[in-house]
Structure 1
Amino acid sequence: MNKFNALVATTLIAAAGTSSTQAADRRYPIAYVQKVEITEPSRRTAWEDKDFLDCDDVVLTEEDVRYALQHMRRVSWNAYAPENTDTTGCKGSALVTFKNGRILAMGIEPTGRISTGELDSKMNSTASPPGFYECDPCRERKMKLLKDALYRADDRRLKKLEAEGKIPPGEAERRLKTLRAGR
């Protein structure tokens, strides 16, 4: 019976750990959101890579912000840093006002990387440190919506390689068909 109890306890601990890694940050409950204001639907950062995705194709919506609040999980700066992770170089910004007057400034990338800062009702920064989050469900959702934009980026990249002579003539079209079939 002791081995069985130990096995059950181990299983429950593992399940709790797995579910908490995908849980939203409890400090920002979606039920207490009063207003979402998109301040910058799309902007380029120094990391923009048009061969991967053109920032003009990426627009942050209120639905994206609400989805992120439900699914984001906190990570360290090292896990968030652009040097250590994939980034498109595109980011949208939003202000989320909660019923208690707290305001959360969010920067959301299509890859699910999220940066936050807390503000008071007078738009002054609070003592809370900036937050860094990842949202795998957000990335999967947004990238499905951006499938056409990703195809256009692939097309630009392959045609550029073909024009530079780095791949044989006609190879760009063949590779593009293969990429589209693979998605």
Structure 2
Amino acid sequence: MKKTINLMTAAALLLAAGVSADAADKRYPIAYVQKVEITDPSHRNIAWENKDFLNCDDVVLTEEDVRYALRHMRRVSWKGYDPEQVVDATGCEGEALVTFKNGRVLAMGIEPTGRIGTAEYDRKADIVTGSTSFYECSSCRTRKMALLKDALNRADERRLKRLVAEGQLSASEAERRLNWARVQRDKP
């Protein structure tokens, strides 16, 4: 009986660990957020913008996006965040300042792909040493990309039209690929 209870306890702990894989950073509890200020709802880094994937003009960061990210982001290393090493970097991001009740301010840059860069400031607007962090939020990506389905469809269309114009693809094949991509995007 005791062995069964211990196994059930171990299973529950493993399940809890799995559920929290996309859990919030405990340093920034959503309950202590005093104010969220969107400083730049849509910003592009021209060097990194990939319009074949997503046009930055189609992406707008909202307060709801920031609060959602705070609830679901998990910390990653620079290597996991580095735009030169990651395939889905868009070059698009929105920027926000989150003020907590203790006076700390978290500056956030959030990409629609769920990649997040942060820096923390104290009450005097001095950066907190060692506070620069990088996060991944897969549920943020899923949520934002679902909202941006039309923008992604337009990006696919632009890319395929360019391939047809360059003679790398026939018009009928481009249409088939576009329809396939839209069907895949519409799957639950």
Q: What TM-score does the superposition give when structure 2 sets the normalisation length?
A: 0.91
Question: How big is each residue's C-alpha offset from its partner over 1:54-83, in whole Å with a ceiling of 9 and x where there is no partner?
Answer: 001001111100110111111111111123
Question: How big is each residue's C-alpha offset from its partner over 1:95-138, in whole Å with a ceiling of 9 and x where there is no partner?
Answer: 00011100000000000011110011232211233111111111
Q: How many residues align?
A: 183
The answer for the alignment partner of 2:29 in structure 1 is 29
* 2:15 paired with 1:44: no
RMSD value, Cα: 1.5
The answer for the alignment partner of 1:81 in structure 2 is 82
- Within 2, Cα distance between the matches of 1:22 and 1:14? 14
Question: Match for 1:91 among 90, 93, 112?
Answer: 93
- Within 1, Cα distance between the matches of 2:101 and 2:120? 14
Secondary structure of the 2:153 match is: helix
TM-superposed CA distance for 1:164, in Å, is 0.2
Q: What TM-score does the superposition give when structure 1 sets the normalisation length?
A: 0.93
TM-superposed CA distance for 1:173, in Å, is 2.0
Q: Relative to structure 2, which stretch is displaced further, 121-130 or 90-99?
A: 121-130
- Within 2, Cα distance between the matches of 1:123 and 1:39? 16
Q: Relative to structure 2, which stretch is displaced further, 102-111 or 128-137?
A: 128-137
Instruction: Say if 1:162 and 1:171, in contact at 8 Å, map to a contact too.
Output: no
* 2:142 paired with 1:137: no
The answer for the alignment partner of 2:68 in structure 1 is 67
Secondary structure of the 2:171 match is: coil
Question: Match for 2:116 among 90, 114, 122?
Answer: 114
Indicate the percent of aligned positions where both proteins have the same amino acid: 65
